[in-house]
């Protein structure tokens, strides 16, 4: 009870002291909060994006097969499909159609993906698309498409969100496409600049002959077999390149950790500056603070009690800064959707993906931030206090008020 009362008294005194030296502490608080905010934002964003990428990459094919000739990726003849399917362990091989289309009005490249839109009209996929209800029944099923959120927003500005006319100078006639729906914003990370076009229409837009595909997706049910099957495919067709899901995930991982590493290094420089500042602020106890420590000692406070008070001061100041910084970065990333920083991470593209970041605070990162802010700060503040507290109490009696 008495012990508790004592701790309470000391903490009260620490808080009172912090408030008393408001301007000095406010400065440290502001700098501290900004730094924690910056570091926490980078860490949280990296974590959030990595897990977002990881979960979306789960839907990638187990093996993607590309045909490389002369160092370039070229179309794969449809005949390869059956031969790969004969390999044991392979469940299915799916020929894929995709490419890019340059929309001159928007001065931007979009990803065109060909598939049977019928697949999207049923099951789970149905829910991620805003279907265009007002559409009259299409006469030509081949000229239908579903577009990404970013494309939709841009076409809307051109009042062309219901239908779009594809044209290339080499074509005889333009190809009129009906927009039957657009992807919801949640899927933007994957679908933002996407035009999903009915297979036959996609072949026309991408100019891919009837018996060829852009690449192929190989489904392998047993993850253990993926590497050996990839090897077999490369043996069977030396001009084929295989990319496994694991390889892509590793790439995502390293890209984000590289980027966060880069940003963190820049932050480290400012962290260093901050440490110098607090070292200066904290180690050079003001004459007033030194005198106060002398007074406390002279009226019978033990050295360890004085250090406890100073430690509390450091912990309260750095702890609340840390808390505030983390809170701000949480708000910045998950409410404001990380302006500026997201562009560094996702890249500056013509259309910024407007996906929502899922709130996800990794305790590991919080611990990391706390250990690298609260701990060194408190240590740095306690040292000069200790130096002042071990000097003889009699010096105080020689100080004139």
Partner 1 sequence: MIDALEAVDVTKVYNQGKLSEVFPVIDVSLKIQGGSMVVLKGPSGSGKTTLLAMLGCHVKPNRGEVILNGKKVSKLPEKFMNAHKRDHIGFIFQQFQLIPDLCVMDNIMLPLLPMGIGRSRQIRLAEKQLEFLDLLHRKQFKVRNLSGGEQQRVAIARALVNHPNIILADEPTAHLDSRLTDFFLKRMKQLKESGHTIVMASHDPLVYDNPDIDQVVEMKDGRIVS
Stretch that binds partner 1, among 5-13, 150-158, 240-248, 265-273 (CB under 8 A): 5-13
Per CB under 8 A, the list member of 300, 340, 348, 363 interacting with partner 1 is 300
Provide, rounded to whole angstroms, the least separation between the CB of residue 297 and partner 1: 8
Q: What are phi and psi of 370, to 5 degrees?
A: -60, -45
Of 4 and 173, nearer to partner 1 (C-beta) is: 4
Stretch that binds partner 1, among 92-100, 128-136, 202-210, 301-309 (CB under 8 A): 301-309
Per CB under 8 A, the list member of 130, 168, 283, 399 interacting with partner 1 is 399
| Dihedral (CA of 214, 78, 146, 122) sign | negative
Q: What are phi and psi of 114, to 5 degrees?
A: -100, 130
| Location of structure tokens 């002959």 | 209
State both tokens at 124: 């789970």
Per CB under 8 A, the list member of 40, 117, 233, 296 interacting with partner 1 is 296
Per CB under 8 A, the list member of 267, 298, 324, 368 interacting with partner 1 is 298
Stretch that binds partner 1, among 128-136, 270-278, 291-299, 325-333 (CB under 8 A): 291-299
Stretch that binds partner 1, among 26-34, 46-54, 296-304, 316-324 (CB under 8 A): 296-304
23 binds partner 1 (CB under 8 A): no
292 binds partner 1 (CB under 8 A): yes
15 binds partner 1 (CB under 8 A): no
State both tokens at 328: 């701000």
How many Å is the Cα radius of gyration of the chain? Answer: 31
302 binds partner 1 (CB under 8 A): yes
Per CB under 8 A, the list member of 20, 83, 156, 364 interacting with partner 1 is 20
Provide, rounded to whole angstroms, the least separation between the CB of residue 286 and partner 1: 12
State both tokens at 398: 């020689």
Pairing of strands 175-183, 129-131: antiparallel
| Dihedral (CA of 236, 238, 241, 242) sign | positive
Residue 383 CA to chain centroid, in angstroms? 38
Total residues contacting partner 1 by CB under 8 A comes to 31
386 binds partner 1 (CB under 8 A): no
Q: How far apart are CA 138 and CA 142, in angstroms?
A: 9
Nearest partner of 380 among 284, 302, 295, judged by Cα: 284
Of 246 and 298, nearer to partner 1 (C-beta) is: 298
CB atoms within 10 A of CB 332: 20
- State the burial class of residue 60 (Cβ atoms within 10 Å of its Cβ: 0-12, 13-18, 19+): middle
Q: Mind giving me the DSSP string for 254-298?
A: HHHHHHHHHHHHHHHHHHHHHHHHHHHHHHS--HHHHHHHHHHHH
294 binds partner 1 (CB under 8 A): yes
Q: How far apart are CA 399 and CA 388, in angstroms?
A: 14
The 104-123 site mask, x for binding partner 1 (CB under 8 A), equals --------------------
Stated length of the chain: 401
The 249-288 site mask, x for binding partner 1 (CB under 8 A), equals ----------------------------------------
Cβ-based neighbours of 289, under 8 Å, separated by 6 or more? 21, 388
Stretch that binds partner 1, among 7-15, 63-71, 216-224, 372-380 (CB under 8 A): 7-15
| Dihedral (CA of 343, 348, 352, 357) sign | negative
Q: Please name every residue paired with 163 in a beta bridge, in sequence order, or none if there are none.
A: 178
Of 13 and 125, nearer to partner 1 (C-beta) is: 13
Stretch that binds partner 1, among 30-38, 315-323, 326-334, 387-395 (CB under 8 A): 387-395
Residues engaged in binding partner 1 (CB under 8 A):
1-6, 9-10, 13, 16, 20, 292, 294-296, 298-305, 392-394, 396-397, 399-401
């Amino acid at each position: 009870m008495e012990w508790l009362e004592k701790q309470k008294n000391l903490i009260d005194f620490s808080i009172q002291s912090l408030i008393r030296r408001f301007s000095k502490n406010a400065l440290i608080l502001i700098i501290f909060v900004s730094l924690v905010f910056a570091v926490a934002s980078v860490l949280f964003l990296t974590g959030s994006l990595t897990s977002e990428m990881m979960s979306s990459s789960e839907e990638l094919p187990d093996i993607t097969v590309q045909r490389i000739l002369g160092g370039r990726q070229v179309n794969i003849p449809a005949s390869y499909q059956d031969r790969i399917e004969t390999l044991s362990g392979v469940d299915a091989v799916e020929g894929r159609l995709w490419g890019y289309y340059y929309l001159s009005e928007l001065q931007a490249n979009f990803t065109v993906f060909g598939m049977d839109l019928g697949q999207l009209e049923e099951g789970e996929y149905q829910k991620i698309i805003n279907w265009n209800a007002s559409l009259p029944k299409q006469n030509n099923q081949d000229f239908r498409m579903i577009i990404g959120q970013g494309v939709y927003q841009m076409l809307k500005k051109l009042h062309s969100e219901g239908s779009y006319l594809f044209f290339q100078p080499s074509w005889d006639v333009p190809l009129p496409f009906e927009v039957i729906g657009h992807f919801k914003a949640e899927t933007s990370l994957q679908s933002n600049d996407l035009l999903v076009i009915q297979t036959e229409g996609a072949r026309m837009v991408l100019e891919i002959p009837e018996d060829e595909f852009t690449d192929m997706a190989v489904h392998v049910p047993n993850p253990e077999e993926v590497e050996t099957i990839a090897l077999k495919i490369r043996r069977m067709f030396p001009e084929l390149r295989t990319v496994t899901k694991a390889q892509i995930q590793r790439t995502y991982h390293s890209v984000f950790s590289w980027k966060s590493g880069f940003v963190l290094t820049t932050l480290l420089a400012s962290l260093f500056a901050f440490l110098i500042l607090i070292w200066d602020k904290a180690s050079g106890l003001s004459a007033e603070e030194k005198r106060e420590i002398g007074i406390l000692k002279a009226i019978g406070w033990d050295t360890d009690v004085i250090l406890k008070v100073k430690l509390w001061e450091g912990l309260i100041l750095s702890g609340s800064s840390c808390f505030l910084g983390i809170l701000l970065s949480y708000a910045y990333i998950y409410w404001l959707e990380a302006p500026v920083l997201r562009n560094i991470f996702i890249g500056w593209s013509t259309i910024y993906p407007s996906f929502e970041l899922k709130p996800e605070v990794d305790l590991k990162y919080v611990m990391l931030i706390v250990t690298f802010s609260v701990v060194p700060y408190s240590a740095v503040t306690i040292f000069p206090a200790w130096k002042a507290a071990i000097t003889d109490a009699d010096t105080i009696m020689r100080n004139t008020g």
